[in-house]
Structure 1
Amino acid sequence: MTFIRLHAKQGCKYTKRTLLSVWTNRLYSSARKTLAEHTLCSSVYILSMKPTQEIKQEPADMSGKFGLGNYSSRKHISISVPSSTEVMSPHIKSVEELRVLGINLNRFNTPTQFFICVAGVFLFYLIYGYLQELIFSLEGFKPFGWYLTLVQFGLYSLFGLVELQLTQDKRRRIPCKTYMIIAFLTVGTMGLSNTSLGYLNYPTQVIFKCCKLIPVMIGGVFIQGKRYNVADVSAALCMSLGLIWFTLADSKIAPNFNVTGVILISLALCADAAIGNVQEKAMKIHNGTNSEMVLYSYSIGFVYILLGLLSFGGLGPAVSFCSQHPVTTYGYAFLFSLTGYFGISFVLALIKLFGALVAVTVTTGRKAMTIVLSFLFFSKPFTFQYVWGGLLVVFGIFLNVYSKNRDKMKLPSLAELRKRVLSGRKVRLLSQDV
C-alpha cells in the first residue's frame, strides 16, 4: 500500500482541495508504474495534511512546472512503497527463506544451492547406507526390517517436531488427506526396502532402487502432466541399463537372488517413483516446508507401521531381539535415522528447488557411490562388469545435467564439427606451404 504525506504552507492562494487534486493527478501515473513493478493492487490514502514550517533551502520553481501562476507554497511529499516481501503473506514469504539445517539457501545463487544440496545428500546418505548394511550384517536381525523402519519413523517424527519448533511459522499448510497418501507411499518405500535386505544382498538392493528413474518420469507425465525431452529419456535409459549390468554381474559372481526379495524391492521401487512427484506437487501447490513434510508424513507412517506390526504379531519378537543387543541395534538405528533425516532434508530441498527428476538423478549417483563403498568396507567379490555398468550410469548423469543446462553447455552439431575439422586441415596445409 502506498502512503502519501502532504504538507501545504498556510496562506497559499489555492485551497487544499485544489492542491490535492493536482498532486493526485501527477502522482497517479508514477504510482501505477511502481505498483505494477511490485505486482500489487492497492489504493492511495491521504494520511495527514497540515501546515509546515518555512523551508530554508529554496525549492525548484513549482509554478512553472505545474502551470500555477501564483503558486508560492512549499510542500514536502514522501512516498514509501513496501517491498514485495513486506506485503507478502507468511504463506508466500517462506519461499524466500528455504532453510536446511539452519542454512538459508536463498542467500546463494543457483549453482551454489545445487552444490550444497548435492554435498549434503552424498555426505549423509553415504553414512546412512554404511550403517544400514552394518545393522543387517548382525546375525539374526534380517527378519526385523519392519521394526527397524518403525524405530526410524519414530525418530524422524521426533527430529521433525524439534525442527518445526525452532521455526517461526508452525502452521500446517498441506492437507491431512495428502499427508496420509504421502505417508502410505513413504511406508511402502522405506519399509519394503528395509525388509528386502533380509532376502537380497545390499548392492543388489541398491541397484534395484536406482532403476526408479524411469518410473519417476512416467509418474511425472501422469501425475503432473510433465513432458521430458530426448536427453532426459536417454539419461534414464543409460542409468537403468548400467545398473542392470551391475545386477547381472552380481548374479554371476554371488548369486543370492530370492523371489520374495525381488517382489519387495520392486514394490518399493514403484512407491518411491510416485512419492517424489506427489511431494513436489504438494509442496508447490501448498508451499509446505521441509520440516512440516517430514513431521506429518513420518508420524502418520509410524502409526501405519505400528498397527501393522501389532496386527501380524511382529512387534514382540523384534523388541525381544533388540533388547539383547541394544548398542548394535538401537545405537546404530539412532545414527542411521539421524543421518537419514539430515539426508531427506537435503533431498526435499532438491525437489523444491530443482524438481523430482534432478533429485532422483542425484540420489541415483549417490547410490552408485554407495555400492563402491560397500565393496570397500564389506568383503565382496569384484568384476570389471561393475566398471562398465558404472560408466553407463555416469553417462546417464551427464545427459541429465546437459538437458538441464542446454544453453550453458551447448554442444556443437555434426556439421559444426565437420567444419572445424576441415578448417583445421586447411590451417595445417597452409602452414606446411609456408
Structure 2
Amino acid sequence: MTKNGAEIVISVLLLTTTGLLFFINRCLSLSQFFTNPSSEYSWITSGFLNILGYSTVFVPGYLIYRYIHKIGYLDKAGNTRLTFVIRKCFEADEILERTNVASSNVTHSRTLLQDTLLLLFYFVCLQASFLTWGVLQEKVMTQKYENTKGDIGHFTDSQFLVFVNRILAFLLSGFVVFCTRQPSHKAPLYKYVYCSLSNILSSWCQYEALKYVSFPHQVLAKAAKTIPVMIMGKLISKTKYESYEYVAALILSVGMLFFMLDTGNDHKGSSVTTLSGLILLCSYIVFDSFTSNWQGSLFKQYHMKPVQMMCGVNLFSCIFTAISLMQQGGFLKSFTFMIDYPSFIFDCFLLSICSATGQLFIFKTIATFGPLVFVIITTIRQGFSVLLSCIIYKHEIRVIGIIGILLVFFSIFLRVYCGYRIKTKRKRTQNVDLKI
C-alpha cells in the first residue's frame, strides 16, 4: 500500500471509531437508565460512562497502533506532519539505546546524610500538599455548599474534580518543561496512556468512595496497598524485595488496620452501600499500585525527568477526562454549580494547586527512591490525614488506635534501618572484592 493510502486508512480509522463511540456514549448519557440511577448504584453507571468516554481515545489509538505495525508504516513513511505525530506517539527515539547505556554508566552516589535530608524534604512537601488536599477533598465531596440566597447544593461529579486537578498539573509541568533545560525525551507517548488511565481511574474511585464510606475508613483502608505495590513491582518491573520489606509492609498494614478498627464509620448505610465503598476502595488500591510501578519502570527504561513524566501522564489524563466530560455534559453541570455556589470555585482551585504541587514531589520521589518508598510516605500521610480528620470532626482514638499508630512508625523505622544495614554490607563486600 502506498504512503498516501496508508494515511487515508489511518484517518478513516480515527474518524469512524471516534465518531461511533462518541455517538454511543452520548445516546447512553441521555437515556433514562443512566440519567436517573439509584443513589447506591450511581457509581456503576457513571463509571461505565467514564470508561466508554475514555475508549473514544484508547480504541482508535490502539487500532492505529496495530495497523501501522502490521504494514510497517514507520519504516517507509516520509516526513509529513502525520508521520511526525505518529512517530512521537508510537516510536521510541533511535538513539535511545546509546543514551541508556551512557546513563547506566553514570551514577550519582549520595551519602546517608544527603539521602536522609533529601527524603525528609520530599516527605515534608508531600505531607503539606496532600494533607491540605485531603481536607479539601473531604469538604468538597461530603459537605454542602450554601450561596447568598440561602440555596444549598451538593457537588457530586468526581470526574470533574479529577479533570481540574490534572489540567493545572499539566500546565505547571508543561511550563517547567518548556522554560527549563530538559534532556531529550525518548519514550513514545503511548507509554503514558496506561498509567494515565489507571491514575484517573484510581482518583475517580477515591472521590466516589467518599459517598459510601467515612474519610478515616477510606484513608486507612488504602494503607494496605504497600503489599499490592510490591506484587505489582514483581509482575511489572521484576523488582526483587528483601524479606524485611515484606515484614515491614505487613506490620504497616496491621497497624493501619488497628487504627481503622478504632474509629467509627460515619456512613451507616445498607450493606449495599458498604459493599459499594469496599469495591471502590479495592479498585483504587489496584489502579494506584499499577500506576506507581508502571511509572517506576518507565523511569528505569527511558531515564526521563520527573517533570517530563508528570507532563506526559497529565496530558493524556486531561484528554481522557475532558472528552468523557464533554460526552456526558459534565462541564456544563459543573460550571453551573460554580456560578450558583462561588465558594466552590475557591475550594476547587486550592484543591488543584495542592494536587499539582504534590504530583511534582510524587514523581521526584518515585524517580529517586522508587515506588515502594513513595507508598510508605503516602501511608504515613494517610495516618496524619486521619489524625487531622479526628481533630476536626472529634473522632475518638482509643488504645487500639494508638497501638496501630506505633506499629506504623515501627514498620517505617524497621525498613529504613534494615535497608541501611544491607546497603552498608553490600558496599563492604564490593570493597573487599575490589581489593582482592
User: TM-score normalised by the shorter chain: which range applies?
Assistant: 0.5 to 0.7
Counterpart in the other structure of 2:131: 126
Q: Which moved more, 1:374-383 or 1:174-183?
A: 374-383
Q: Which moved more, 1:214-223 or 1:228-237?
A: 228-237
SS in 2 for 1:168: coil
Aligned identity (percent) is 25
Larger Rg: 1
Cα gap change, 1:115 to 1:128, in 2 (>3 Å): same
Query: 1:130, 1:374 within 8 Å by CA — same for their partners in 2?
Result: yes
Q: State TM-score, norm by structure 2.
A: 0.66
Determine if the alignment matches structure 1 residue 338 to structure 2 residue 353: yes
CA shift for structure 1 position 118: 1.5
CA shift for structure 1 position 91: 11
CA shift for structure 1 position 206: 0.8
Structure 1: runs of 5 or more not aligned: 1-87, 99-104, 411-434
Which of the residues 309, 316, 341 maps onto 1:300?
316
Amino acid at match of 1:228: Y
CA shift for structure 1 position 93: 7.8
CA shift for structure 1 position 184: 0.6
Query: 1:142, 1:197 within 8 Å by CA — same for their partners in 2?
Result: no
* Superposed CA offset, 1:379-401 (max 9, x none): 43443332122122122212221
CA shift for structure 1 position 312: 3.9
* Superposed CA offset, 1:309-345 (max 9, x none): 3334444333322221233x22122222212222221
In the TM superposition, 1:11-160 aligns within 5 A as 109-139=114-144, 140-160=153-173
Amino acid at match of 1:209: K
Amino acid at match of 2:162: T
- Distance in 1, matches of 2:416 and 2:155, equals 38
Determine if the alignment matches structure 1 residue 372 to structure 2 residue 387: yes
- Distance in 2, matches of 1:312 and 1:208, equals 31
More helix by share: 2
- Distance in 2, matches of 1:326 and 1:90, equals 50
Query: 1:136, 1:142 within 8 Å by CA — same for their partners in 2?
Result: yes
Query: 1:131, 1:332 within 8 Å by CA — same for their partners in 2?
Result: yes
Counterpart in the other structure of 1:195: 208
* Superposed CA offset, 1:13-52 (max 9, x none): xxxxxxxxxxxxxxxxxxxxxxxxxxxxxxxxxxxxxxxx
Counterpart in the other structure of 1:32: none
Query: 2:263, 2:395 within 8 Å by CA — same for their partners in 1?
Result: no
* Superposed CA offset, 1:123-181 (max 9, x none): 22222222222322431435222211111111111111112122112743322111111
Query: 1:253, 1:381 within 8 Å by CA — same for their partners in 2?
Result: no
Cα gap change, 1:89 to 1:217, in 2 (>3 Å): closer
Cα gap change, 1:111 to 1:92, in 2 (>3 Å): farther
Q: Give me the CA root mean square deviation.
A: 3.0
- Distance in 2, matches of 1:94 and 1:376, equals 48
Amino acid at match of 1:110: D
Which of the residues 346, 362, 374 maps onto 1:359?
374
- Distance in 1, matches of 2:104 and 2:421, equals 30
Cα gap change, 1:239 to 1:353, in 2 (>3 Å): same
Determine if the alignment matches structure 1 residue 276 to structure 2 residue 287: no
- Distance in 1, matches of 2:131 and 2:305, equals 25
Amino acid at match of 1:384: V
Could you say which structure has the greater relative contact order, defined with CA pairs below 8 angstroms and 6 or more residues apart?
2
SS in 2 for 1:169: coil
Cα gap change, 1:223 to 1:195, in 2 (>3 Å): same
Cα gap change, 1:300 to 1:97, in 2 (>3 Å): farther
Cα gap change, 1:369 to 1:91, in 2 (>3 Å): farther
Amino acid at match of 1:326: P
How many residues of Structure 1 are paired with residues of Structure 2 in the alignment? Answer: 315
SS in 1 for 2:182: coil
Structure 2: runs of 5 or more not aligned: 1-97, 145-152, 426-436
SS in 2 for 1:406: helix
